[in-house]
Structure 1
Amino acid sequence: MKFENTGFEGLKADLRRLDDVMLEYGLVRESQWDYDRVTYDRKFELNEGVFYLRVQGYAVEGDVGANKALVQLLTPLLGKYYYPHGVEYGEGENFPKSLVTQCETILTNLKEEISAIAKK
């Protein structure tokens, strides 16, 4: 599921500051990066299954591997994990309403904080 019109598209921020802000909301980068892309995930374990809120971005300047990059964010996603295949983000997935609402709240607050550190 895509969270359209959240305002994340086009937001640019310094990687190190972005890492800190994302972590405040439980979104971790861990080893999910390469030299020009990043992925932040937050895991939700519910009775209905395991879900991931995902925010991705790519470096418009610098190098993620060197921890010196300006990252442009993309549209946030919500996916459901299926063992052993992985996470599915399709529109045909069924997401609990309470989870969607929780993710929307997280993204609204997160966008506000990222906007404060964003580069124009």
Structure 2
Amino acid sequence: MIEIPSSIEGGEYQLNDLEQLLKPIGYTIGGNWDYDHGYFDYKMDDQEGYQFLRLPFQVVEGQLDSSVCTVKLGTPFLLSHEYEGGVDEDADVGNFSASFDQFQSPENKDAPIPESFVNTGRVLVSELESIL
């Protein structure tokens, strides 16, 4: 994980407004959200694992599943996940268990981030600063 300090840190926004600004440029709300915090993710690459720019936010007022929710932005950071290559040929997966185990867990949840993605992350954060 590599943090990218930014002038957007500490900014407060209506979550719906943030979604309207960020979704059209490729951000999604990541699956790691809870009632009081979450992340906007921008997938930079998925060739050798996954490289993301992640923009964390904390709920200031309301709840994430409500129609009105105010959030405070945290420090953007880069995240890299490496996945084990190949398919597990010895797996005994039935229809029932497949509904729960659809996705492979990362082999390394905090893999090294190539310098080219660090530069891309800085450019993306600059873009966020100009939009927000």
Q: The TM-score by the shorter chain falls in which range?
A: 0.7 to 0.9
Q: Does 1:3 align with 2:10?
A: no
Q: TM-score, normalised by structure 2?
A: 0.71
- Give the equivalent residue in structure 2 for 1:69: 69
- Give the equivalent residue in structure 2 for 1:87: 109
- Give the equivalent residue in structure 1 for 2:125: 107
Residues 32, 39 of structure 1: 8 Å contact kept: yes
Structure with the largest fraction of strand: 1
Structure with the largest fraction of helix: 1
Which digits, 9 at most, give the CA deviation of each residue in 1:52-88, with x for residues without a partner? 1111101111111113111100001101102333631
Q: Does 1:57 align with 2:57?
A: yes
**Higher RCO, Cα 8 Å, sep 6+:** 1
* Stretches of structure 2 lacking an aligned partner (at least 5 in a row): 84-104
- Give the equivalent residue in structure 2 for 1:27: 27
Q: Mark the CA change 1:73 to 1:41 in structure 2 (over 3 Å): closer, same or farther.
A: same
Residues 30, 38 of structure 2: 8 Å contact kept: no
* Larger-Rg structure: 2
- Give the equivalent residue in structure 2 for 1:14: 14
Residues 14, 69 of structure 2: 8 Å contact kept: yes
Q: TM-score, normalised by structure 1?
A: 0.77
Letter in 2 for 1:10: G
Identity over aligned pairs, percent: 26
Letter in 2 for 1:19: E
